[in-house]
Structure 1
Amino acid sequence: MVTDAEPAQQHAAALRGLLYLACPGAPASAITRTAEAITRQAGSPPAGAVPEAAELGHPRSGDLLLTRADMSGADLTEAELPGADLTDANLSDANLARADLTGAHLDHANLSEANLSGATLVRARLIGANLFGTLLDRANLTDANLTDVHLDHTDPFDAYAYRWSVRDRSSVRLTGADLSGADLTRADLPRAILTGAILGGARLTDAHLKGARLTGARLTDADLFGANLSSANLSRANLTGANLSRANLIGARLSGTRLSETVGMSLPRGAFWDRRTEWPPELVSVVVERSDEVGPGLFQVRSGSAPERSRVRRF
C-alpha cells in the first residue's frame, strides 16, 4: 500500500485529472473519492473496480477539485469547468480552446504552450500562473486576477531551444483578448502580444511589459503606475484616462497613440511618435522642442535633458 503521504497525494492528484478526462460530467466528490480509493489500493493487484467508481455516473453538482492534476497535452476543447479548482495543475500543451473557466482557480498552474483561444476566464484566478507560450487570443478575462503571472521555460537543459523559444515562442498571445478590469499587478509579460486587446480599467501596476505589442489596444482608465513599457509598441493604442505615473516608456512606439488625457505622464525619452500622436496639453511644447525627425514623419524624443536648438524642427 502507498504509505508515504506526499507520493500518495501526487498519485491521487494525477488520478483526479485522468478521471475527469474519462468522465467529464462526473460529480467532483465522486472523482475525488474514486481517486483516493484507487490510491489506497495502489500497492496490491486490483480485484475489480473500487465501489466509489459507481458514483462517477451520477450527474455533477458543485465545483470540480482538480488541484495539482496532471492534464498536460489533454484535449479539453469547449470543456465546462466553471468554478473548477485547478490550483498547481499541469495543463502544459493542453487544448482549452473555447473552454468555460468562469471563476476557476488556476493559481500557480502550468499553462505553458496551452491553447486558451476564445476561452471564458471571467473572474478567474491565475495568480502566479506560468504563461510561457500560452495562446489567449480572443479570450475573455474580464475581472480576472493575473497577479504575478510569469513566463518560465520548462527545459533549462536545452540551451539552444531556450534561446529559440524566448525569441519566437515564449511570448504569451492575447490578441483581441478582453482583460477589462483584470488585475495584472506585477505581471511578468515581456514581449507579450496584446494587439487589439481590451484593457479598460485593468490594473497593471509595476507590470513588466518591455517590448510588448499593444498596437491598437484599449487601455482607457488603466492603472499603469510604475509599469515597464520600454520598447513596447503602443501605436494607435487608446490610453485615455490611464495612469502613467512612474511608467517607463523609453523607446516606446507611440505613433497615433491617444495620450491627451493620461494622468501623471512624464516626457518619454527615446520614444517614437508621429503627427497623429495626441499628447497631454502640458507636454506638447516640450515634446516638440526635444524631438528630432528620424524618418519621414517619424520623430524621436531625445534622451538628453537639454534641447539641441540647431536640430529642432518646426512641426
Structure 2
Amino acid sequence: MSSPFLPVENLGGPYADLRGAHLTGAILTREDMTGSDLTGAKMNLANLYSTNLDGALLGSAILANAMLDSARLTGADLTGADLTDANLTRADLTGADLTDANLTRADLTGADLTDANLIRADLTGADLAGADLTDADLTDAYLPDTGLRLLDPLGTGTSSAFLAGVVWSERTRWPDGLEVEMRSRSVRIGEGRYRVEGSGNSGADLTVPPVPLS
C-alpha cells in the first residue's frame, strides 16, 4: 500500500478502515487517525510522531521499531501488538489496552500509562524512566531489565516511574530486587493480586500496613 519511508496520503483520516494494511516505513506524522481500525496492520519502522491514534484499534499490529514519540493513544486497543524497540517517548497511552503486547526494549521515557492495561505484557529491557504508571494493571506482566527503581524514604533518590495504585500479581516479574520493595508498598486485593499504596516510591506516605513477606 505504500513505499518504505515515503509519505502516505489519502488514508481516510479519522475512523479509517486499514485492517491488515501494509504500512512498513510509512510516514504518518501529525496525522489525525482517531478511532481508525489498524488491526493486524504491518507498521514496523513507520513514523507516527505526534499522530492522534486515540481510540484506534491496533490489536496484533506490527509496530516494531516504529516512531510513536509524542503520539496520542488514549484508550487505544493494542492487545497483542508487537512494539519491540518502538519509540514511545512522551506518548499518551492513558487507558490503553496493552494486554499481551510485546514491548521488549521499547522506549517509554516520560510516557503516560495511567490506567493502562498491561496484563501479561512483556516489557523486558523497556526504558520506563519518568513514565507514569498510576493505576496501571501489571498483572502477570514481565518487567526484568527495565531499570525500575524507587525513591528512598527521604526522597533523595531518582524514581524511574510513578507507580501509585499499580495492580500486580504473584506472577508479575519485577527487576531484580524490586519485588520485596513492591510488596512493602502494597496491599493484597485478592488471591495473588496486590495494589501499590501511596506514591509507590517512598515508605513515608504509606497509610496501610505493608504486605507480609511470607
Scaled by the length of structure 2, the TM-score of the pair is 0.78
> Take 1:143 and 1:246, find their aligned partners in 2: how far apart are those partners?
24
* Residue number in structure 2 paired with 1:258: 167
Please list, as runs of the form range in 1=range in 2, the aligned pairs for 1:93-112 lying within 5 A after superposition. Answer: 96-112=13-29
The residue number in structure 1 matching 2:137 is 238
Partner of 1:176: 75
Q: Distance in 1 between matches of 2:138 and 2:19?
A: 28
**1:137 equivalenced with 2:137 (yes/no):** no
The separation in 2 between residues aligned to 1:312 and 1:213, in whole angstroms, is 22
| Structure-2 change in CA distance of 1:108 and 1:267 (3 Å) | same
Tell me the alpha carbon deviations over residues 134-155 of structure 1, each in whole angstroms, 9 at most, x when there is no partner. Answer: 000000000000000125xxxx
For 2:47 and 2:11, the matched residues in 1 are separated by 13
1:211 aligns with 2:110: yes
CA distance in 2, matches of 1:172, 1:125: 18
Select the residue among 96, 102, 116 that pairs with 1:197.
Answer: 96
CA contact (8 A) 1:117 1:135 kept: yes
Structure with the bigger RCO (C-alpha within 8 Å, sep 6+) is 2
Residue number in structure 1 paired with 2:127: 228
| Deviation (angstroms), 1:248 | 2.5
Partner secondary structure for residue 201 of structure 2: strand
Of 127, 133, 139 in structure 1, the residue corresponding to residue 44 of structure 2 is: 127
CA distance in 1, matches of 2:16, 2:140: 33
Name the CA distance, whole Å, in 1 between partners of 2:138 and 2:82: 17
**Counterpart amino acid of residue 30 in structure 2:** E
Aligned mates of 2:182, 2:199 — CA distance in 1: 18
Question: What TM-score comes out, normalization by structure 1 length?
Answer: 0.54
Map residues 1-315 of structure 1 onto 2, 5 A cutoff.
66-68=1-3, 87-91=4-8, 96-150=13-67, 171-250=70-149, 251=159, 252-261=161-170, 262-267=172-177, 280=179, 283-285=182-184, 297-298=198-199, 300-301=201-202, 315=209
Deviation at 1:110, TM superposition (A): 0.4
1:263 CA drift (Å): 1.6
After superposition, the C-alpha distances for 1:161-191 in whole angstroms (9 at most, x for unaligned) are: xxxxxxxxx6100000000000000001101
Equivalent position SS for 2:26: coil
Aligned Cα root-mean-square deviation (Å): 2.6
Runs of 4+ in 1 over 6 A off after TM superposition: 311-314
Unaligned runs of 5+ in 2: 150-158, 187-197, 210-214
* TM-aligned CA distance change 1:142 to 1:299, over 3 Å: closer
Letter of the 1:255 counterpart: A
CA distance, structure 2, for counterparts of residue 260 and residue 212 of structure 1: 23
- Identify the residue that residue 166 of structure 1 maps to in structure 2: none
Alignment partner of 2:168: what SS? coil
Q: CA deviation at 1:115?
A: 1.0
Amino acid at match of 2:166: T
Deviation, structure 1 residue 264: 3.8
> What is the one-letter code of the residue matched to 2:148?
L
Task: Find the residue that maps to 1:259 and give its secondary structure.
Answer: strand
Cα 1:281–1:93 shift into 2, 3 Å = farther
* Cα gap change, 1:187 to 1:144, in 2 (>3 Å): same
Percent of aligned pairs with the same amino acid: 42
Q: Is residue 91–residue 114 contact of structure 1 (8 Å, CA) maintained in 2?
A: no
Aligned equivalents of 2:116, 2:91: Cα separation in 1: 12
- How big is each residue's C-alpha offset from its partner over 1:90-112, in whole Å with a ceiling of 9 and x where there is no partner? 13797621001110011110010
The structure carrying a bigger helix percent of its residues is: 1
Distance 1:225 1:90 in 2: 32
